[in-house]
């Protein structure tokens, strides 16, 4: 009974070179193929249907790792879960999560590609890209778009809010539009941290009321000899 599982040893796994399948027990096999290629497979029956599941090459999956995976598979089978279907579902979930992990810059570039062709002024897309490159990307370009918050938005626009108010206002609006697009596309959740009314309007002075910077004519001073 004790040898029903764990029949193989690390030494036998390393030295077996004849083609065939070698049982470790509990559905786990070492399969030796042409050119001494070795890989793990797991055989099981679920709902009266036989299945064969690849677990990976011996080069990347050790005997101990293969046994652990086989143990988890047997547990799933006891619970009526198909290990192959479970693995597919987990892979799909990871791919979906990866697709959602878009950076702010990636979303901005996608937004410009989507809407740029419809802008009447061909310079508009260039202006969007240049202002984002100058004022936004250095701080939040590589930040996951779902992680962009109010503090990050303010940090991007506050340095130019009082000295370049027109540009700053446009930049804020562009950030807001990109974040709205990202939310609609499923890349972020929650409120838009770049929204002006009822949000940034409580944190920054209204652009129209900013004092204009007065420029004075430089005076030439004559220094007496």
The closest of 203, 108, 103 to 148, measured between CA atoms, is 103
Say which range, 155-159, 161-165, 217-221, has the weakest mean pLDDT.
Answer: 217-221
Distance, CA of 36 to CA of 8 (rounded, Å): 17
In whole angstroms, give the CA distance from residue 67 to residue 9.
12
pLDDT one-digit tens code per residue, 104-160? 999 999 999 888 777 777 788 889 999 999 999 999 999 999 999 999 999 999 999
Q: Which residue pairs, CB below 8 angstroms and at least 24 apart, start in 125-131?
A: 128/174, 131/167, 131/170, 131/171, 131/174
Q: Which domains does the chain carry?
A: 10-100 (3.30.160.390), 104-209 (1.10.150.130)
Closest CA to 135 of 106, 102, 161, 109: 161
| pTM exceeds cut of 0.85 | no
């Amino acid at each position: 009974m004790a040898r029903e599982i764990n029949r193989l040893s690390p030494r036998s796994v390393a030295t077996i070179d004849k083609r065939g399948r070698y049982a470790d027990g509990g559905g786990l096999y070492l399969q030796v193929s042409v050119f001494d290629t070795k890989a793990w497979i797991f055989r099981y029956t679920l709902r009266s249907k036989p299945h064969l599941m690849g677990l990976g090459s011996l080069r990347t999956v050790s005997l101990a790792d293969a046994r652990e995976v086989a143990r988890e598979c047997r547990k799933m089978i006891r619970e009526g879960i198909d290990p192959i279907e479970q693995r597919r579902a987990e892979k799909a979930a990871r791919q979906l999560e990866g697709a959602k992990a878009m950076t702010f810059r990636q979303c901005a570039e996608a937004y410009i590609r989507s809407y740029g062709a419809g802008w009447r002024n061909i310079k508009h897309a260039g202006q969007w890209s240049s202002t984002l490159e100058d004022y936004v990307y250095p701080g939040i370009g590589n930040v996951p778009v779902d992680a962009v918050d109010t503090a990050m938005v303010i940090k991007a626009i506050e340095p130019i809010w009082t000295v370049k108010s027109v540009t700053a206002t446009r930049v804020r609006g562009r950030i807001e539009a990109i974040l709205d697009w990202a939310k609609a596309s499923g890349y972020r959740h929650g409120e838009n941290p770049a929204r002006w009314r009822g949000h940034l309007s409580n944190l920054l002075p209204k652009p129209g009321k900013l004092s204009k910077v007065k420029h004075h004519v430089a005076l030439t001073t004559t220094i007496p000899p």
